Amino acid sequence: MTTGFTGLAGHVRRALATRVRWEGTPPRPVPVPGTEFDVEVDLVVLAMGFEGVAPGGLVQGLGLALDARGNLATGPDCATNVDGVFAAGDCSRGPSLVVWAIHDGRRAAAAADAYVSRMR
């Protein structure tokens, strides 16, 4: 886990890091004390992305099931364990490419349309 950077005159020279262990549900990285280290670097690229499904709020309120990775559990039609609730993209797949989110969104929309059509 990167914990910081050092450098000189606005140029990064070293990345500071620590080893981690995974704890909790969903699993989260926890720094292991005493395992700090640093690495010489020429360039740092920051990838800021999906943090995962927040287990409280709407997820808890609706009683949505999570899979082993902490994502919303869905079937092949993007349906969750709650009747009439569908999920797509990062919340059900985990962090991925936007093309997968589009693909999943289309599948979920078709499944939701079929669900609503049966209700008429």
Domain parsing of the chain, residue ranges: 2-40, 57-119
- What is the pLDDT at residue 48? 53
Handedness of CA 34, 48, 104, 120 (dihedral sign): positive
Comparing 40 with 52, the larger pLDDT belongs to 40
Tell me the C-alpha to C-alpha distance, in Å, between residue 100 and each of 68, 89, 107.
20, 7, 10
Encode pLDDT of 53-96 as tens digits.
888 888 998 999 999 999 999 999 999 999 999 999 889 998 88
- Greatest Cα pair distance in the chain: 67
Encode pLDDT of 14-30 as tens digits.
999 999 999 998 899 99
Q: Which fold has domain 57-119?
A: FAD/NAD(P)-binding domain (3.50.50)
